[in-house]
Amino acid sequence: MKKSIILTIIGCFLIGSLCGYGAAYIIYEIKLINCEYQISKLTTEVSKLNQAASSQEAQISTLRSEKSGLQADLSWAEAETTHYKEQVNSLELQASGLQDRLNNVLNITVTQHYNWSYRRKTWQWELPIPLSIYVEYLERARPLSFAFYADMAKDPEDDLYIDMMVQWINSAALEKRFTEVQKLNFVIAFVQSLPYTVDVETTPYDEYPRYPIETLFDRGGDCEDSSILVAALLDRMGYDVALLHLENAEHMAVGISITGNYGSYYEYDSKKYFYLETTGEGWQIGQIPPGITDTTARIYPVR
């Protein structure tokens, strides 16, 4: 009996041990499989990270190479900028030198001498004209229509010089006791004495109306130039004057509205504008040269 109990106990122990071992083995196997799965998963992740790292390194390398290229471009651009700055500085220096020389030239005043005869006496005037004012007029655009030539006679910028001449005219008239008509003939005799020059030969243009200062500086001009000058002088002397455009004769002259009768005239605005010839020599108020047969004229008052 005792022997069988002992055997039973031993059997139970062995069976229990076998069952415990089996269970432990099963648990261990499951953990092992799980670990292998985790290792495999981590290995895949590591591989992916390695690939990403390689790709990043390649990108970094490309960026470094691009940076190096850009730095080279920047250096080149900086060198070019420095070069251009030096050129600009040099040109500015040259321009400044040229401006100084131009200013020196423009500071020159040219004195024009005029000699002419009137009433058996030789007259001499000397008019100082700063080159700067002459150039200022030269640079002006020319009017495109005869209608605006009267504005050239009325231009205020030259009043100082025109008034200087008006003073000489008034002094001469006072000294020689000219009548009003003699004084007017004296003015046109002066302008008639300036040589007649053709625009196409003295300017780069076929038709070039001169401002009064230009005609005085150039010491001559054609019919519209001398007419604009006469109109400017008489306007500053206080007369009612107009430019007369004689279209058929392709000629320009001046008309003056004064009381009395002084030969030929053109009517405008119920007023008689007596004819003043500003070219040629010896023509007096109211005398129209025989070649001009226009019975009508376009009249542009200076006002």
Q: How far is the CB of 107 from Ca ion (least distance, A)?
A: 23
Yes or no: say if 129 and 112 are a contact pair by the CB < 8 Å rule: yes
Q: How far is the CB of 238 from Ca ion (least distance, A)?
A: 13
Q: How far is the CB of 80 from Ca ion (least distance, A)?
A: 51
Q: How far is the CB of 103 from Ca ion (least distance, A)?
A: 25
Give the CB-side neighbour count of residue 75, counting CA atoms within 13 A: 6
Output the CA–CA distances (angstroms, integers) from residue 280 to 125, 166, 223, in the order listed: 20, 22, 9
Q: Which is nearer to Ca ion, 225 or 277 (CB)?
A: 225
Q: How far is the CB of 118 from Ca ion (least distance, A)?
A: 23
Q: Which is nearer to Ca ion, 189 or 237 (CB)?
A: 237
Q: How far is the CB of 300 from Ca ion (least distance, A)?
A: 16
Task: For residue 162, give the 3-state DSSP assignment.
Answer: helix
Q: C-alpha 66: how far from its chain's center?
A: 44
Q: Which is nearer to Ca ion, 5 or 141 (CB)?
A: 141
DSSP H helices in the chain: 2-106, 131-138, 149-153, 159-176, 180-193, 199-202, 212-218, 223-236
Long-range contacts of 263-267 (CB under 8 A, 24+ apart): 263/287, 263/288, 264/288, 266/296, 266/297, 266/299
Yes or no: say if 115 and 124 are a contact pair by the CB < 8 Å rule: yes
Q: Which is nearer to Ca ion, 188 or 302 (CB)?
A: 302
Binding residues for Ca ion, rule: CB under 5 A, are 155, 158-159, 162, 199, 208, 222, 225
Q: Which is nearer to Ca ion, 114 or 146 (CB)?
A: 146
Q: Which is nearer to Ca ion, 237 or 285 (CB)?
A: 237
Q: How far is the CB of 150 from Ca ion (least distance, A)?
A: 12
> Torsion angle of alpha carbons 209, 214, 215, 217, nearest 10°?
-160
Yes or no: say if 167 and 174 are a contact pair by the CB < 8 Å rule: no
Return d(Cα 204, Cα 197) in angstroms, integer: 13
Residues sharing a CB contact under 8 Å with residue 105, sequence separation 6 or more, in sequence order: 131
Return d(Cα 89, Cα 129) in angstroms, integer: 36
